[in-house]
Chain A
Amino acid sequence: MTVLEQPGAYRLAPPPGWRPRLDPAPLLPDAEPFRLLGTDADLDPETLTRLYRELVRGRRYNEQATALTKQGRLAVYPSSAGQEAAQVAAGLVLAERDWLFPSYRDTLSAVARGLDPVEVLSLLRGDWHSGYDPRATRVAPLCTPLATHLPHAVGLAHAARLKGEDVVALALVGDGGTSEGDFHEALNFAAVWHAPVVFLVQNNGFAISVPLAKQTAAPSLAHKAVGYGMPGRLVDGNDAAAMHRALGDAVAHARRGGGPTLVEAVTYRIEAHTNADDATRYRTDDEVRAWREHDPLALLERELRSRGLLDDAGAEEAARDAEELAAGMRDRMNQDPELRPMDLFADVYAEPTAQLDAQAAQLRAELDAEAQAAAESDTESQAEARGEGGAR
């Protein structure tokens, strides 16, 4: 019996007679990443088909967002191209009541969960920090500092359990983020509190330009789990079925009261870190090419076709659906966002301070003056157009 199958009850304090676990074996990840595609594993056709459709959408979403960056419609876009399997699986495995904690590269996980792609991109577009309501969507705001949202996921899951509610938190972090202190503290708290949390590390090879070998000396990132007393799972991050299964098992384990799990998705960032990055400085074309041959979408498509679950018509239909998503993104992102300058002062505090009130009044006056000047210049240019323009 693996640790994932052991029944456990929620607990804050160690159970009576607790002793250190001297045998780490049940917690250890497999030597090779867990794979399902290309094996003769029994896979649910409906899940495979769903994953495929979402993956096609996800690939198109990444392409469209990258294009919008080039057009200046997004300030920046950290692409998750190549990582779609991990992102989509993360977006699909949670129940509605569960919470997702994405980092800035994980917009696709939120879209796969059903969030409006334009609202999700608000942070990267620059019109507001969080374009969606985290409480309504149960998706935490995209986190820019590395790993600092992981303790939030632990605290939220812990709080839900204290309230007697069945809620699991799934938090996403990159390989670079595992070096941060907050990663350590979050995993430690989660394990000690036995919190219903799943940590998904997307090991995409590089923290901007720094390769994994310079990030950690651990045998794998999944091995880090063992030191905290939670199971670590090493998964082929480009295998959508394996990702879905591993994350689904970890969520179910947490829901049963089994505590946290660390899942490492071994994947690759096909694009540069962002449009401000030059990836040719730190990696070779050969390396990228090799990973392209292990493309998550191609792997899944091959599997579906070999199992007779997909034909050309089905692929075309999925492509049309993805094209609709992209067209919707273009239409809406090409409109200028509605900016509300007075929001700068909204929600800093429940009640604004006197100092903020004064500053808000200053901005209000500046905006009014701007509007008046614009109106006057408008009147003038109209007059000029009618040939009434006087000497200036």
Chain B
Amino acid sequence: MSTVDAAAPGGTDTDPGAAAARKPVSMAQAINRALRDAMAADPAVHVMGEDVGALGGVFRVTDGLVREFGEDRCTDTPLAEAGILGTAVGMAMYGLRPVVEMQFDAFAYPSFEQLISHVARMRNRTRGALPMPVTIRVPYGGGIGGVEHHSDSSEAYYAATPGLHVVTPATVADAYGLLRAAVASDDPVVFLEPKRLYWAKEEWSPEAPEEVPGIGRAVVRRRGGSATLITYGPSLPVCLAAAEAAREEGRHLEVVDLRSLVPFDEETVAASVRRTGRAVVVHESAGFGGPGGEIAARVTERCFHFLEAPVLRVAGFDIPYPPPMLERHHLPGVERVLDAVARLQWESGWTMSGDGGGDGGTEGGEGGGK
């Protein structure tokens, strides 16, 4: 099993040497640091987008880059998403590594033709002659009180397009590490930044950032033997909170953070579900056609004989993203996750023999019948 167990956000499971340099850092700051370090390490890396220069991005994620690297390396483009991504394609054709910013999730849609017709398939259609080392940063998701077109969870569109990697960090360390990996990747990476985690601070060391697993690896954020919560990005803190709440009821939920939708780490997910026998997929984007359906299908294919209950999904409603004053009713919260967990047929199931792998310091498996 390839699972790497990482500490939960803000956890204390750290190297004492590195801990000395740690300080509270937000995800936005970590992404900024990743861009700076990537640009310093490789002159081919170019940051471009609307407002990324003097303003430093509307979320200040590109703050200071133009000062440090100049307008040629950190470029305020005309306001045109197709043009931003389309010119980035040409730049990548000539050996640069563009990192483009789509200011908000729903603003990226005009660029979809470039993304789908060119970025995703250029390597394949040219038999490898023109790789597309383009990173597309997309602040995504709700929960920040954004008005219409500022809160979409657009990951399903990206994940449904072969040729793209789709990555979404949920921790400060991952935001840094996954972005460095995305920029270094010779393939296009859609880097989805959960807006509502931008300002959440964690103890982190910008000077000595720890190694994190690369793109395509899921991580077990919390051990437990009762059921597996499979999630990513903005829903990770929700799932961790749900797991904490469930513990009071005697249910020990394992939480898997996918970190990467494409490639999808089936091994880590399947290993977890085989241990627990129950699974709930949690994400903000609409359920119909959302990643949850794909994940549930794969879990069922891989783990059918281990399952005590159908794989359930907790997703956003199948509605256009609601106005901000109503969004709390739309976004999956702890209660909705716990409701789903309660529906995992605890009455009829047989007792799992395992206790969550026995190596994660968990408190034993969930008894089946009462």
Contact = CB atoms under 8 A, between A and B. Distances in A.
Nearest to B267: A354
Interface string B75-95: 101101011011111111111
A121 to B, nearest CB: 15
Label chain A's interface by main secondary structure: helix
B127 A186 contact: no
Contact of A189 (B71, B78, B121): B78
Contacts of A186: 83, 86-87
A254 to B, nearest CB: 15
Interface residues of B, number: 50
A162 B90 contact: no
Interface stretch (B109-117, B223-231, B248-256): B109-117
Interface string B252-278: 000000000011101100000000000
Contacts of B118: 145, 148-149, 152
B114 A189 contact: no
Of the listed residues A135, A153, A343, A347, the one surrounded by the most CB atoms of chain B closer than 10 A to its CB is A347
Interface stretch (A31-39, A41-49, A125-133, A361-369): A125-133
Interface in B155-200: 162-163, 165, 185-187
Nearest to B121: A129
A160 B121 CA distance: 23
Contacts of B131: 350
A87 B140 CA distance: 44
Given A152-B89, A159-B94, A354 B187 contact: no
A336 to B, nearest CB: 19
B262 A154 contact: no
A188 B80 CA distance: 9
Nearest to B90: A155
A98 interface: no
Contacts of B77: 189
A192 B124 contact: no
A346 B77 CA distance: 34
Contacts of A169: 90
A149 B90 CA distance: 9
B78 A141 contact: no
Nearest to B127: A347
A140 B93 contact: yes
B81 to A, nearest CB: 9
A353 B96 contact: no
Contacts of B20: none
Contacts of A134: 93, 126, 129-130
Of the listed residues B94, B114, B121, the one surrounded by the most CB atoms of chain A closer than 10 A to its CB is B94
Given A148-B114, A151-B82, A12 B71 contact: yes
B109 to A, nearest CB: 12
A158 interface: yes
A321 interface: no
B94 A141 contact: no
Contacts, number: 146
B83 A151 contact: yes
Given A185-B80, A188-B80, A348 B162 contact: yes
A386 to B, nearest CB: 44
B216 interface: yes
A159 B92 CA distance: 8
A151 B267 CA distance: 40
A43 B87 CA distance: 37
A347 to B, nearest CB: 4
Nearest to B126: A130
Contacts of A181: 82, 110
Contact of A12 (B75, B78, B91, B128): B75
Contacts of B92: 155
A350 B86 contact: no
A153 B83 CA distance: 11
Contact of B78 (A157, A160, A185, A347): A185
Contacts of B88: 155
B87 A154 contact: yes
Contacts of B127: 128, 130, 133, 343, 346-347
A134 B88 CA distance: 17
A348 B46 CA distance: 24
A13 B71 contact: yes
B226 to A, nearest CB: 28
A199 B223 CA distance: 59
A163 interface: yes
B22 interface: no
A350 B122 CA distance: 12
Nearest to A153: B90
A156 interface: yes
Contacts of B117: 145, 148
A189 B263 CA distance: 33
Nearest to A146: B113
A349 interface: yes
A348 B163 contact: yes
Contacts of A157: 90
Of the listed residues B88, B122, B262, the one surrounded by the most CB atoms of chain A closer than 10 A to its CB is B122
Interface in B310-365: none
A159 B125 CA distance: 22
A158 B87 CA distance: 8
9 contacts: A134-B126, A140-B93, A148-B114, A152-B86, A153-B90, A159-B96, A167-B94, A186-B86, A350-B131
Nearest 3 pairs of A and B residues by beta carbon: A155-B90, A151-B86, A185-B83
